[in-house]
Amino acid sequence: MNDRYLSVDQVAELLGTTPRFPRRLIEERRIRYVKVGRHVRIPESAIEEFVRARTVEPIKPRRAALRRAA
């Protein structure tokens, strides 16, 4: 239990979005969160999982695509 728990505003700042985006993720249950009384906290590991799951790796161009037509 070494996870930091972040507020919606902190998550928004971390992701570079408005607070509306993390709130929507919570409402749609697309991210793990913890209710502490009436407060909502998001574990830092949940943010890392969310970003990792949606990271798109670049593709390497095929060599054939780089050749010029004669």
Tell me the C-alpha distance between 66 and 43, whole Å. Answer: 45
Q: Would the pTM count as exceeding 0.85?
A: no
Reading the block at residue 47, the tokens are: 């943010």
Compute how many other C-beta atoms are within 10 angstroms of the C-beta atom of residue 52: 8
Orientation of helix 8-15 relative to helix 44-53, angle to 10°: 40
Helix (H) or strand (E) holding 14: helix 8-15
pLDDT tens digits for 12-21?
999 999 999 9
What per-residue confidence (pLDDT) applies to 66? Answer: 59
| Averaged pLDDT, groups of 10, the chain, 70 residues long | 91 97 97 96 96 93 65
